[in-house]
Amino acid sequence: MKTRRLGKNGPEVSALGYGAMSFSDFYGPTSEAASHALLDLMLEAGVTHLDTSNVYGSGRSERWIGSYLKARPAARERFVLATKAGISQDAAGARKLDNSAAHLEAELDASLMRMGVDHVDLFYVHRREATRPIEEVTEVLARLQAKGKTRAIGYSEIAPASLRRAAAIHHIDAVQSEYSLQTRAPELGLVQACAELGTALVAFSPVGRSMLTDRPLRVGDVERVPFLKVNPRFAPENHVANLAITDRFRQLAAEMGVPAAALAIAWLLAQGEHILPIPGTRDPQHLREAIQGAELVLGREDLARIEAVLPVGWAHGDRYDPVQWVGPERYC
């Protein structure tokens, strides 16, 4: 497995990471044993960058990572662990954002306990609380780093301007954002700002929530996934249109002799040495296809062929609905 640096000051990690939201039931039911089998596969393949959050399965993702590390203590030295906090609930159970010092430290402490570790390698603010100055929040993250509870700090789904404000206070090791052939908004400033500041851009949903794979979810499938059921890109008319467009990508991947997911990952890795994709899946074969993408080297002609079948702006529908847009920063 090729490696890349997690920000200019960070450790070397596998070029391909893993997003452990799939250790919850977000995209469908799974089990602790199945999740542990995926972790075994990651170690066998050299996938060391493991990303989770306190809210994935209400802590279940972290607990299952913790039970794996307890059973295989040597794995802790091989995995670079990242987690997040900042999403909470109000008294009525509605989603709210909390970037206060007390909340972030308490949630990080709880994450450490669930995973059975004394520190994580990277701690993110999962969603920015818009009314709280990012400079203040960055100082909180820096104090957590100074205490040794995390070795690196980052933000998820922030705008380039917010990154620059935060970086003026303390170096930001990583920014996490959705980025793929389906979602190109980071190219309008975030990819460039991260490269300039020595910040890793950790790309989640790099295969477009299945749309950039050989086995995309079909129209009837999204009914069993609450997040996708209300997501504009998976609304029936948009979904049908997006499947038709991405059929051309699947055909191109077949002509090149590689899985579509592998080609999507390889394209993303070709966009910059500071970009680190973290696909999530419950299926070992899907993970193997993503790993294959980290081994591909695409030339200019390959990239041009990909752009020809999936030009910027091809996707039908917004990537979030109004509720899902609470927290992520729009900047273009």
- SS3 label, residue 128: coil
Residues 6+ apart with CB under 8 A from 12: 3, 4, 5, 6
Where helices occur in the chain by DSSP H, the ranges are 32-45, 60-71, 101-115, 134-146, 160-167, 190-197, 226-229, 236-256, 260-269, 284-295, 300-309
Non-local (6+) Cβ contacts of 322 within 8 A are none
- CA–CA gap between residue 63 and residue 300 (Å, rounded): 43
Q: How far is CA 317 from CA 82, 237, 300, in A?
A: 30, 9, 29
Among all residues, which ones are annotated catalytic?
Answer: 56
Can you name the residues that pair with 178 across neighbouring β-strands?
204
Q: Tell me if 181 sits within 8 A of 240, measured CB to CB.
A: no
State which amino acid sits at residue 294.
Answer: A
Q: Could you give the C-alpha distances from 305 to 57, 253, 263, 289, in angstroms and in order?
A: 39, 10, 11, 20
Q: How many CB atoms lie within 10 A of CB 12?
A: 13
The crossing angle, in degrees rounded to 10, of helices 101-115 and 134-146 is: 40
